[in-house]
Amino acid sequence: MSTSDTAAFTDPIFLASFGLSRITVLDYFLHPLNPFRTKVKTCNEILAMQGISIGLIMQNGLGMRPGPIPLDQAEEEYRKQLERSVGEQYELLPPPPGEEHVLQSPLFTIRHVYRSSETKKSALGIYYVMEGVIYKSPSARSLMKSNVTRTCQGIFDACEVLSKCARYSPQTGSYWDFETALLTKVVSKRKETEKDIIVHLQSKSKRARRVVDNRRPGERTQEEEEASRAKERMNSILLRLSKSV
């Protein structure tokens, strides 16, 4: 089954009903709607039909070891049961050191393997359950592709910047002129800033003028008429400046 590395799965109903811990995370991953799970019957499901799971082992024990038993011992017994099985199975990887007895965690790691014997298995995939959301670990191919893409983009950007600094003179040949390129960039940036300021002042002046001009001629005072004419002269100056930038 091919599933995108960027896909994800979550089931709020399961999380609200059972919660998420090291006891329930494998059952959560084996959810029928989870697009990442394999379509074949796993060893985990066969053990569940036999009444063997991490939670049941903690509660009842297993074999000659009566329960209840600690979480880390229950996980170890469950791993031994998986090692005796042959086929596809999901392994809950051990927690970080010092958290062996912690039930809940924001992150769980599950490994999908095919076991051909008690000592021989091959990995088929790695999955993360982070805050109730299941993600597929990216493959080595996708990681390499992403790194190559970022590297090529960085080289392209560097070449584009350097191309503006390259110069040629018949007397000296090719050379680099970083100061001129930097000065050109600063001047261009300053012109863009000045143009933005002029456009903003023009827009503000037009809005103010429209408010004054809404009244009929003769209704404005002499001071308002002089202010209107001054604004018109200012607009004319700003228009000439904007054309020269």
**What confidence tens digit (pLDDT) does each residue in 84-97 have?**
999 999 999 988 88
Largest CA distance in the chain: 107
- Locate 138 and state its tokens: 């990216």
**Does residue 45 carry a pLDDT above 90?**
yes
Cα–Cα dist 12/188, whole Å = 54
Which CATH superfamily includes the segment(s) 8-142? Answer: Mediator complex, subunit Med6 (3.10.450.580)
Cα–Cα dist 44/129, whole Å = 17
Query: pLDDT (tens digit, 9 = 90+) per residue, 100-140?
Result: 778 888 899 999 999 999 889 999 999 999 999 999 987 56
Cα–Cα dist 236/245, whole Å = 15
Report domain extents, the chain.
Answer: 8-142, 179-244
